[in-house]
Amino acid sequence: MILDTLEIPIVLAPLAGGPATVDLAVAVSDAGGLGFLAAGYRTAADVREQVGAVRARSERPFGVNVFMPPAVATEPDVYASYVERLQGEADRAGVRLGEPRLDDDDWEAKLAALSELAVPVVSFVFGCPAPEVIAALRARGTSVWVTVTSPAEARQAEDAGADALVLQGYEAGGHRASFTDGDEAPYGLLALLQLVGARANVPLIATGGVGTGRGVAAVLAAGARAAQIGTAFLRCPEAGTSAVHRAALATAAPTALTRAFTGKPARSIVNRFMREHGDAAPSAYPELHHVTAPLRQAARASGDPDVVNLWAGQAHELGSDEPAAVVARRLADEARIALRHANELLGE
Amino acid sequence: MILDTLEIPIVLAPLAGGPATVDLAVAVSDAGGLGFLAAGYRTAADVREQVGAVRARSERPFGVNVFMPPAVATEPDVYASYVERLQGEADRAGVRLGEPRLDDDDWEAKLAALSELAVPVVSFVFGCPAPEVIAALRARGTSVWVTVTSPAEARQAEDAGADALVLQGYEAGGHRASFTDGDEAPYGLLALLQLVGARANVPLIATGGVGTGRGVAAVLAAGARAAQIGTAFLRCPEAGTSAVHRAALATAAPTALTRAFTGKPARSIVNRFMREHGDAAPSAYPELHHVTAPLRQAARASGDPDVVNLWAGQAHELGSDEPAAVVARRLADEARIALRHANELLGE
């Protein structure tokens, strides 16, 4: 089990859509944690190249995260009025909206590449792969993780043969990893850990709002084998995070879940785009992801925080801009101190 | 500081509205934790009597929780159509709806009683008392705690002179303790602990979805001095919880936040009443609390789980029906084991 080989129980979150880089993955793995590459929004060829680059630079284990493809296309009438509504944003930014299309994010080609590459860990979000898919990757020596957001999803993933479960709490930045987009009562991370931990027979990795050593210590105490951390690495020099996103992360601005940017619930720092369009945004992923992509790209380029998807977990203001290895080691050191305090309170 | 005198870092949540009893408070205090009485929905005379009863039976410290009075009445047109909507429920149950009235829950008389009684701890929910109120209680030797749900509320309470802060996470059962009912982006407990812990200079007590020893260990590791636990005590024989509520707690039914029962967001096990009326329920507390009270009372009496407010935290299914002292000691024992596991993962 890969988790047993880590020097520090810290896993990098995948951070698809810009922040994930080979540099960041290597830095976290070399610090004794588990670095991660994001296959999401990339071609299979890109993923091959990135895996090769990581392997050329480090002998440590690492993971690759893959988006499960959407089960069905969303009917155009579900999102037509939302697209119309965004035309004003496009005019203002001087860009054309993207085409609302369904795609599977190069699913088959990526699976083939990952099977061939036999990477140490492959994790999935947005659904549970079929048992055959999991078995095929395991046969290549890959440890297969499935990201879940509820006890029911955890049971399904364990039944399908997952080696480990990544439990994503309500606090997490970016997209909810839920199997379906109907998740009206999301679980807080600590409740989810206790509920799944009471039943699961596979290791648990905890993610969502864990931004400090205290947070790492807490999820380990709650039964996780490791903490998966995204937001706390977003401001590291190795990350590909945009300048406008970095600036927002360094504030104490509140976050909220929204479908405004992509048609799938995701946690972002609250900005004008979310406030104005969030209530109108339907469930339509990846169609709306493609529609808003040019808007978000233009806003990142021009540095307009009011139109960029500012993915961030609830504890984002506690991050820093230190190198990733420093962050990872500091989190582990602070976690040890936090556990000592807790031991004292329990008279140990 | 009372918290330093506890043998186990476990505080009973107030559990107003039926479950709170003198027996339950005494059992938790005598087990080495901190028992709590709920002054909410009671007269000042009742509170005096209960405090006397606790003192007659135990020399251990305990607390009393008080509802802050609503700042202003809600305009009738805000809730008129909701009350109309509930008429069908009243007809079906054969009861008359209550009058939608504003009241301050006997605020001045309770404050006077608590000042006179000089109880060890007084905690507040639904707002922050004026600095003068806090100072007056402190002058009587009372430790004053304020329950908060965000970093901003935490700062306000600390500035007002609170001795300690109870941090309530999104996962918590029953009413949100928020100062106002406009809380669109509630914090998960673990994120809230990290954010407030990074700045606060007073002890923190963590509440919300903490139902196991692992959960207790987690919040201590995250920086809390104690865990405040409600749902895990609701099925104890000492609790005044109704039979229909006990039965629902023992299932794995999901919970959600709703204004349907009282006009204030609260977490309940999802039932028909919530599903049918939740989306229509306005912010109008305590007016709607009074309107639905006869409905809820009748449903408790007849054992109808579909109309009772089934307050429960997200981890409710992990509770048990053991005596409260057994629950409290077991939580502490399991917390010690959980910390040992966490220590091993960090190589301590």
The pLDDT tens digits of the residues spanning B141-165 come to 999 999 999 999 999 999 999 999 9
Which residues does B341 contact at the CB level (< 8 Å), separation at least 6? A220, A221, A223
Q: How confident is the model at residue B182 (pLDDT cuts 50, 70, 90)?
A: confident
Interface with chain A: mutation pick from B3, B170, B171, B190, highest number of A CBs within 10 Å: B190
Q: Which of A195, A209, A345 sits opposite B188 (nearest CB)?
A: A209
Q: Is B274 helix (H, G, I), strand (E, B) or coil?
A: helix
Interface with chain A: mutation pick from B192, B194, B271, B329, highest number of A CBs within 10 Å: B194
pLDDT at B186: 95
Q: Which of A195, A347, A348 sits opposite B315 (nearest CB)?
A: A195
Nearest CA in chain A to B227: A345
Residues 185-244 of B with CB under 8 A from A: 185, 187-195, 197-198, 208-212, 214-215, 217-223, 225-226
pLDDT at B181: 87
CB spacing of B345 vs A197 below 8 angstroms: no
CB spacing of A190 vs B212 below 8 angstroms: no
Q: CA–CA separation, B23 vs B36, rounded Å?
A: 10
For chain A, which residues score pLDDT lower than 70? 183, 348
Chain B residues whose beta carbon lies within 8 Å of the beta carbon of residue A252:
151
Residue B314 near chain A (CB below 8 Å): yes
pLDDT digits (tens, 9 = 90+) for B270-317: 999 999 999 999 999 999 999 999 999 999 999 999 999 999 999 999
Q: Are A114 and A137 in contact (CB under 8 A)?
A: yes
pLDDT digits (tens, 9 = 90+) for B311-348: 999 999 999 999 999 999 999 999 999 999 999 999 86
Q: How confident is the model at residue B183 (pLDDT cuts 50, 70, 90)?
A: low
Give the C-alpha distances (Å, rounded to integers) separating B25 from A65, B15, B64, B116.
49, 10, 10, 20
pLDDT at A183: 66
Q: Are B238 and A169 in contact (CB under 8 A)?
A: no
The C-alpha of A52 sits at a distance from chain B's nearest C-alpha, in angstroms, of 30
Q: CA–CA separation, B210 vs A239, rounded Å?
A: 35
Topology of the domain comprising B2-69+105-247+321-345: TIM Barrel (3.20.20)
Interface with chain B: mutation pick from A3, A187, A194, highest number of B CBs within 10 Å: A194
CB spacing of A170 vs B185 below 8 angstroms: no
The answer on pLDDT for B72 being more than 90 is no
Q: Which of B187, B256, B315 sits opposite A185 (nearest CB)?
A: B256
The C-alpha of B255 sits at a distance from chain A's nearest C-alpha, in angstroms, of 7
Give the C-alpha distances (Å, rounded to integers) separating B168 from A275, B46, B229, B341.
26, 26, 11, 26
Q: Which of A194, A314, A345 sits opposite B191 (nearest CB)?
A: A314
Residue B253 near chain A (CB below 8 Å): no
B53 CB-contact burial (10 Å; exposed 0-12 / middle 13-18 / buried 19+): middle
CA B165, chain centre distance (Å):
14
CB spacing of A170 vs B170 below 8 angstroms: yes
**Which tokens is B50 given?**
């209960």
pLDDT at A1: 81
pLDDT at B347: 82
Ramachandran sector of residue A174 (left: φ over 0; alpha: ψ -120 to 50; beta: rest): left
CB spacing of B222 vs A188 below 8 angstroms: no
The answer on pLDDT for B70 being more than 80 is yes
B231 CB-contact burial (10 Å; exposed 0-12 / middle 13-18 / buried 19+): buried
Chain A residues whose beta carbon lies within 8 Å of the beta carbon of residue B151:
252
DSSP code string of B216-255: HHHHHHTT-SEEEESGGGTTSTTS---HHHHHHHTS---E
**Which tokens is B271 given?**
């039932």
Tokens 């009074």 identify what position? B290
Domain ranges of chain A: 1-69+106-241+321-348, 72-103+251-317
The answer on pLDDT for B131 being more than 90 is yes
Chain A residues whose beta carbon lies within 8 Å of the beta carbon of residue B184:
256
The C-alpha of A218 sits at a distance from chain B's nearest C-alpha, in angstroms, of 4
Q: Which helix (H) or strand (E) holds A145?
A: strand A143-148
User: What pTM was computed for the model?
Assistant: 0.97
pLDDT at B1: 81
**Which tokens is A311 given?**
């993915």
Q: How confident is the model at residue B185 (pLDDT cuts 50, 70, 90)?
A: confident
Q: Are B12 and B331 in contact (CB under 8 A)?
A: no
Q: Are B321 and B249 in contact (CB under 8 A)?
A: no
Q: Work out the number of other CB atoms within 10 angstroms of the CB of residue A199.
A: 10
CB spacing of B215 vs A190 below 8 angstroms: yes
- Residue A269's beta-bridge partner residues? A255
Give the C-alpha distances (Å, rounded to integers) separating A23 from A7, A53, A234, A325, B248.
19, 9, 12, 11, 50
pLDDT digits (tens, 9 = 90+) for B24-52: 999 999 999 999 999 999 999 999 999 99
Sign of the CA dihedral with B164 first, then B169, B173, and B177 last: positive
CB spacing of B270 vs A225 below 8 angstroms: no
Q: CA–CA separation, A112 vs A235, rounded Å?
A: 33
DSSP code string of B36-104: EEE-TTS-HHHHHHHHHHHHHH--S-EEEEEEPPPSSPPPHHHHHHHHHHTHHHHHHHT-PPPP-----
What is the CATH number that goes with domain A1-69+106-241+321-348? 3.20.20.70
Q: Which of B188, B193, B225 sits opposite A170 (nearest CB)?
A: B188
CB spacing of B190 vs A212 below 8 angstroms: no
Residue B170 near chain A (CB below 8 Å): yes
pLDDT at A181: 87
pLDDT at B134: 98
A55 CB-contact burial (10 Å; exposed 0-12 / middle 13-18 / buried 19+): middle
C-alpha closest to that of A163 among A121, A192, A206 = A121
pLDDT at A314: 98
Q: Are B190 and A215 in contact (CB under 8 A)?
A: yes
Residues 141-160 of A with CB under 8 A from B: 151
The C-alpha of B175 sits at a distance from chain A's nearest C-alpha, in angstroms, of 16
Q: What is the mean pLDDT of residues B245-269?
A: 97
CB spacing of A221 vs B348 below 8 angstroms: no
**Is the preceding omega at residue B286 within 30 degrees of 0, hence cis?**
yes
Please count the CA atoms within 13 angstroms of the CA of A295 that sit on its side-chain side.
25
Q: Are B249 and B269 in contact (CB under 8 A)?
A: yes
- Helices (DSSP H) in chain A: which residue ranges? 2-5, 22-30, 44-57, 76-85, 87-93, 107-117, 131-139, 151-159, 189-197, 213-221, 243-249, 272-277, 287-302, 324-345
Q: How many residues does chain B have?
A: 348
**Which tokens is B234 given?**
């609701």
